[in-house]
Chain A
Amino acid sequence: MTHPQDQRPALASESLPAADHDASDALLDRVQQAARDNTPLRLVGGDSKGFYGRPVSGETLSLAEHTGIVHYDPVELVVTVRAGTRLTDLQQTLAEAGQQLAFEPPHFADTATVGGMVACGIAGPRRPWAGSVRDFVLGTRLITHDAKRLRFGGEVMKNVAGYDLSRLMVGAQGTLGVIDEVSFKVLPRPAASARLRLEMTRDAAMARLAEWGREPLPITGAAHDGETLHIRLEGGAGSVATTRERLGGEPDDTDFWRRLRELKLDFFSRRNDSRPLWRLSLPHRAPAVPLDGDELVDWAGAQRWWRSHMSAETIRQHAAHVGGHATRIDLDQPHGIEMPFTPLSPVLAKYHRRLKAELDPHGIFNPGRLYEGL
């Protein structure tokens, strides 16, 4: 069904690297078939984040051929992209116009797609200052359980008509519907940036960050690796220069933030380290969590990576105790692991199940990807 809002001007950008290939009809056919046969589908974009969730058994529904930047108008700060478009292609197009996805999504592999990025909802080191993936999602086209291609949200910054189905899809990992197309708010790339390293203890770093956090400084990255506080500044040339002078420290490795975002620092990829990797998401000023193991702090304290042998239950209890949650991540398990995410409270779980039952009554979309039975 065509939509009254389908009218769009011609593409504003000249050379689009992403192949323009609309595979919606084929996707709709597959979903229709699956609904008819009650066949579970495993939704896959670039399969770069398979580790982030639970294994799904089902027929693979690949979005990778559904590519192209449908509409990009830099002056409107909006881009609309088909789900299978490679993230690198989108980012290149944005960069050519001096813009970016402010939430700094990780790729984990070159094959990473825009749809997978939205489904997983993982943001990079800039998250506490710029916002999350869902903060920049303006609209989506979804393929529903009954093989309808529907539009929610749109290409405007403000839109409060109806429930926010688009943002609900972020992080739902395809369990509520197939993300077909997404519109994002994009922002200008910063005019200036700087990367600093300051040698100090973890506690000293946390104290400094608390102090700086109360001022409008152009900080867009703050991580501590056990010995060094890494700071990234982004903003106008004037404020970056002034702040850099004020904070002191030494120029940092230019690749640090990419390797942190992509989980490519030694901390993550130590081959000889058999201790499980945990991601703790906590209030940024939560006290240090008393785990045995090694810690890498990101997001100015709101995201803490741990390598620890302690039991999942203990780690989750510690995280919950300070108001957060813990996710077990095993980068070597390309299809995921049995229980990556912190279990939901019984009442929340009930409403998750009800929502799943309403939006995917036959359980065909990525069943069990987040939790058993969801």
Chain B
Amino acid sequence: MNILFDERLDGALPSVDREALIAHLQAELPQLKLLHREEDLRPFECDGLSAYRVLPMLVALPETLEQIASLLETCHAWGVPVVTRGAGTGLSGGALPLEKGLLLVMSRFSRILEVDPEAHIARVQPGVRNLAITEAAAPYGLYYAPDPSSQIACSIGGNVAENAGGVHCLKYGLTVHNVLAADVLTLEGEHITLGSEALDTPGFDLLALFTGSEGMLGVITEITVKLLPKPEVAKVLMASFDDVEKAGKAVGDIIAAGIIPGGLEMMDKLAIQAAEDFVKAGYPIDAEAILLCELDGVEADVHTDCETVRGVFEAAGATDIRLARDDAERATFWAGRKAAFPAVGRMAPDYYCMDGTIPRRELPHVLKSIAELSATHGLRVANVFHAGDGNMHPLILFDANAPGELALAEEVGGKILELCVEVGGSITGEHGVGREKINQMCAQFNPDEITVFHAVKAAFDPHGLLNPGKNIPTLARCAEFGAMHVHHGNLPHPELPRF
């Protein structure tokens, strides 16, 4: 399956005279850094989903708001598609360029404008790295809560565009819960502010609508985030299980005990072994699953909660329970989890990271089905799971140089996502739809729902120039690929051959 933009299915894109556009932009915006030679465009041909590459028509690296507004006005007037890119770490191809499009790179907007410890806010430009916000807030005992694994490199603008998550979402929320305001430039070059430092604003909640909209509604130019006081103390328990199902049940039992852990992560055997090989975190390599449970807050409460969770683990049949003795050991426990993706990456030439969410009760069933898919397709799958919030990251191991394996990995991935939808979950918890999951959108949403998405898009971008082909599929695409959706195990038109 080729997921690159296909005008037959994704809609025709306007063709503009590239040389005339370059000349126009150079004349209009002489200070603007504009890349157009092939060797300069090459570094921008993909984002974190590097299996897919397209050379953009042009790359712009603006440095001022005026430049962005002017660029957008030109693109609007000329009919040039615009793909906005932050740090390019996204895993769903949300910033995959278009041959006929301009790539708007926000990396030069990398200033932290203000950290206000009294107001508990930071005002930042969109190109600021996620972790840089927490680093800037640290001297005041504050931090920015959402922590995607790419936090060292990913930009806050991209986080807002994708509604990024991390390992602490159950307790501290996603990006949408931690952003107070965003300045946006519309495709028509108008400036609007969504949200505010006050806790509500009049009118529709456009900030919620823009968060996770994948650059389809406007260009984010400034963000105000909420900072939280750093918890007084954080402790991590690691429990080993000889059975994945027992581990899954223990997760529910912790919640049933009235505890909301700061982080609650599960890894299966393959992921444990990969991580242990890579970072020597002291993980039990014989275990079928481990749970990492972080409890944070005020010391007295954390101590009580640790005892409760230990009791839950014992009752659930954990074969080993360890409490990190100090912050150093806590960091070691987490290091294995945080490095799980690259660790798994060492076990095969390539891996494909999925991002489905499921109701937690479905975990045993879903893991069993993934194991079956893995066996029947001959591809190993390691499972890393934000167990607290039901967000799975199956990592499909394959070799892109082996004929047919990429397609096979995509097929397994697609089936896993459809499985997530079938059990009541979603095709993406935090990585976004981007280009990667554009076909699976047709499994999660019916044509009427997709039509409503198009209506929302039309309110902000009637000509479909902002990031076309991402996030929301066309009905034509769904007619082509949605028909393949297996509903309750029944193929539509089972009489037809399928390849």
State which residues 204-220 of B face A: CB under 8 Å.
204-206, 208-209, 211-213, 216-217
> Given A135-B173, A167-B208, are A156 and B197 neighbors across the interface (CB < 8 Å)?
no
- Can you list 19 pairs linking A and B with CB atoms under 8 Å apart? A4-B422, A4-B444, A4-B488, A75-B256, A78-B359, A131-B177, A160-B212, A164-B212, A214-B141, A216-B229, A217-B298, A235-B298, A236-B300, A239-B300, A284-B199, A324-B196, A325-B196, A342-B202, A351-B206
Contact (Cβ within 8 A) B229 A351: no
State which residues 423-444 of B face A: CB under 8 Å.
423-433, 437, 441, 443-444
Distance of A235 Cα from B359 Cα, bound (Å): 27
Contact (Cβ within 8 A) A162 B433: yes
User: What's the minimum C-beta distance from A253 to chain B, rounded to whole angstroms?
Assistant: 25
> Given A160-B162, A167-B176, A359-B455, are A216 and B230 neighbors across the interface (CB < 8 Å)?
yes
Among A7, A157, A163, the residue within 8 A (CB) of B212 is: A163
Contact (Cβ within 8 A) A158 B389: yes
Among A159, A243, A283, A357, the residue within 8 A (CB) of B197 is: A283
- Name the interface size band of chain A: 35 or more
Contact (Cβ within 8 A) B259 A188: yes
Judged by a CB distance under 8 angstroms, whether B278 is at the interface is no
> Given A158-B391, A172-B204, are A347 and B357 neighbors across the interface (CB < 8 Å)?
no
User: What's the minimum C-beta distance from B113 to chain A, rounded to whole angstroms?
Assistant: 15
Judged by a CB distance under 8 angstroms, whether A27 is at the interface is no
State which residues 140-179 of B face A: CB under 8 Å.
140-142, 162-163, 165, 169-170, 173-174, 176-177
Distance of A121 Cα from B201 Cα, bound (Å): 11
Distance of A285 Cα from B119 Cα, bound (Å): 6
Contact (Cβ within 8 A) B199 A299: yes
Among B206, B449, B458, B485, the residue within 8 A (CB) of A162 is: B449
Distance of A172 Cα from B456 Cα, bound (Å): 14
Contact (Cβ within 8 A) B360 A216: no
Among A78, A134, A164, A352, the residue within 8 A (CB) of B203 is: A352
Contact (Cβ within 8 A) B206 A282: no
On chain B, the residues within 8 Å of A238 by CB distance are: 298-301, 303-304
- Name the interface size band of chain B: 35 or more
Contact (Cβ within 8 A) B300 A163: no
> Given A158-B174, A158-B429, A171-B204, are A235 and B459 neighbors across the interface (CB < 8 Å)?
no
Distance of A176 Cα from B190 Cα, bound (Å): 24
Distance of A210 Cα from B389 Cα, bound (Å): 32
Among B205, B258, B424, the residue within 8 A (CB) of A172 is: B205
Contact (Cβ within 8 A) B198 A161: no
Judged by a CB distance under 8 angstroms, whether B108 is at the interface is no
Q: Mark B84-128, 1 if CB is under 8 A from A, else 0.
A: 000000000000000000000000000000000111100000000
On chain A, the residues within 8 Å of B423 by CB distance are: 7
On chain A, the residues within 8 Å of B119 by CB distance are: 283-285
Binds B, one of A37-45, A145-153, A260-268: A145-153
State which residues 152-182 of A face B: CB under 8 Å.
152, 154-165, 167-168, 170-172, 176
Judged by a CB distance under 8 angstroms, whether B192 is at the interface is yes
Contact (Cβ within 8 A) B448 A148: yes
Judged by a CB distance under 8 angstroms, whether B402 is at the interface is no
On chain B, the residues within 8 Å of A121 by CB distance are: 200, 205
Closest-by-CB residue of A relative to B92 is A160
On chain B, the residues within 8 Å of A78 by CB distance are: 359
On chain B, the residues within 8 Å of A323 by CB distance are: 196-198
Q: Closest 5 A-B residue pairs measured CB to CB?
A: A238-B300, A236-B301, A158-B429, A239-B298, A167-B208
User: What's the minimum C-beta distance from B60 to chain A, rounded to whole angstroms?
Assistant: 23
Q: Which residues of A contact B (CB under 8 A)?
A: 1, 3-5, 7-9, 73-78, 98, 121, 127-128, 131-132, 134-135, 144, 148, 150-152, 154-165, 167-168, 170-172, 176, 187-189, 191, 210, 213-218, 235-239, 241-243, 281-286, 299, 302-303, 323-325, 327, 341-345, 347-348, 351-352, 354-355, 357-359, 370-371
Contact (Cβ within 8 A) A242 B428: no
Judged by a CB distance under 8 angstroms, whether B75 is at the interface is no
Judged by a CB distance under 8 angstroms, whether B345 is at the interface is no
Distance of A91 Cα from B471 Cα, bound (Å): 36
On chain A, the residues within 8 Å of B443 by CB distance are: 4
Given A4-B444, A168-B204, 19 further pairs, Cβ under 8 A: A75-B255, A75-B256, A121-B200, A144-B448, A155-B359, A159-B429, A161-B427, A161-B433, A162-B453, A215-B141, A216-B230, A238-B303, A238-B304, A341-B203, A344-B202, A347-B190, A354-B459, A358-B459, A371-B203
User: What's the minimum C-beta distance from A342 to chain B, rounded to whole angstroms?
Assistant: 5
User: What's the minimum C-beta distance from A206 to chain B, rounded to whole angstroms?
Assistant: 11
Closest-by-CB residue of B relative to A370 is B203
On chain B, the residues within 8 Å of A216 by CB distance are: 228-232, 297-298
On chain B, the residues within 8 Å of A9 by CB distance are: 361
Distance of A218 Cα from B229 Cα, bound (Å): 11
Judged by a CB distance under 8 angstroms, whether B472 is at the interface is yes
Contact (Cβ within 8 A) A242 B192: no
Among B170, B456, B485, B488, the residue within 8 A (CB) of A163 is: B456
Judged by a CB distance under 8 angstroms, whether B487 is at the interface is yes
